């Protein structure tokens, strides 16, 4: 009888141990915002170490099996500039309009710039596991490059129209910050756009803007762009500005 009891106990312990080994650790968002900011900064740096730009300016991950990318420069080697807000921008050499149109990205400015862009925009949650901080899987915010193949005009996280704000039914939704990503507007100020590049012209992406969560939606409520919460998420924008002009009155 004692042997049977011992076998049962041993079996239970084995099952419990196996179950613990198989469990996937669930990431818990840190309460301290400074920890979140640190996670974002660490993950952004690793992202720049692990990715490069291809011949058309697309962000690509280095392959561990294909040697064809061995001579490519990491994003971290392409003169990234980090702003006080934590936003990082990379201007790609030989891919800028000359002279180009200077952008006024302040939505409230009378001369605010309307943009038409080819863009791949992804969002990521930086998380820690066993002391290692990295971005998780990418989510898609916009991808005109692989989807429509045509530039988009004034994506709402760059500029939201006044009639959207005026028709909003909650106080939060009446604010531009509910829709617009401040870090995107900030980063775009360092780029120039083409005056009127034809939509059918092949794209040649101008660069990258990487935005930590504190310069995006942080922990605030925001418009439902994806069906998922974008709180605490960082964003990566890879783009070309096909057209930049003062926003027409009927598009404000």
Instruction: Look at residue 10 and tell me whether its pLDDT is greater than 50.
Output: no
Q: How does 207-217 read in b/e, with b if 16+ C-beta sit within 10 Å?
A: bbbbbbbbbbb
Which of 134, 191, 133 has the alpha carbon at shortest distance from 158?
191
Q: Domain spanning 30-251: which CATH class is it, in words? A: alpha beta
Tell me the pLDDT tens digit for each residue of 139-188.
999 999 999 889 999 999 999 999 999 999 999 999 999 999 999 999 99
Distance of CA 2 to the CA centre of its chain: 61
- Break the chain into its structural domains and give their ranges: 30-251
Which of 145, 129, 135 has the alpha carbon at shortest distance from 50?
135
Other residues' Cβ atoms within 10 Å of the Cβ of residue 97: 17
Tell me the pLDDT tens digit for each residue of 96-151.
999 999 999 999 999 999 999 999 999 999 999 999 999 999 999 999 999 988 99
What is the rounded CA–CA span in Å between residue 178 and residue 85? Answer: 18
Tell me the pLDDT tens digit for each residue of 26-61.
678 888 999 999 999 999 999 999 999 999 999 999
């Amino acid at each position: 009888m004692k042997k049977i009891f011992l076998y049962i106990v041993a079996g239970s312990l084995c099952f419990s141990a196996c179950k613990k080994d198989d469990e996937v650790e669930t990431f818990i968002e840190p309460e301290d915002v400074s920890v979140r900011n640190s996670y974002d900064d660490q993950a952004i740096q690793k992202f720049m170490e692990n990715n490069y730009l291809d011949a058309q300016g697309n962000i690509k991950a280095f392959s561990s099996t294909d040697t064809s990318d061995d001579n490519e420069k990491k994003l971290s080697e392409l003169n990234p500039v980090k702003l006080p807000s934590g936003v990082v921008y990379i201007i790609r050499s030989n891919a800028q309009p000359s002279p180009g149109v200077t952008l006024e990205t302040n939505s409230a400015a009378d001369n605010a710039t309307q943009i038409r862009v080819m863009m791949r925009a992804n969002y990521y949650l930086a998380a820690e596991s066993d002391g290692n901080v990295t971005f998780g899987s990418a989510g898609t915010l916009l991808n005109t490059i692989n989807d429509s193949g045509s530039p988009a005009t004034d994506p709402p996280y760059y500029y939201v129209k006044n009639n959207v704000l005026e028709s909003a039914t909650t106080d939060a939704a009446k604010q531009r910050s509910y829709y617009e990503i401040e870090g995107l507007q900030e980063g775009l100020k360092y780029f120039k756009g083409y005056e009127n590049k034809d939509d059918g012209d092949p794209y040649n992406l101008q660069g990258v803007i990487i935005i930590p969560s504190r310069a995006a939606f942080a922990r605030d409520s925001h418009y439902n762009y994806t069906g998922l919460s974008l709180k605490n998420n960082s964003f990566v924008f890879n783009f070309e500005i096909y057209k930049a002009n003062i926003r027409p009155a009927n598009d404000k």
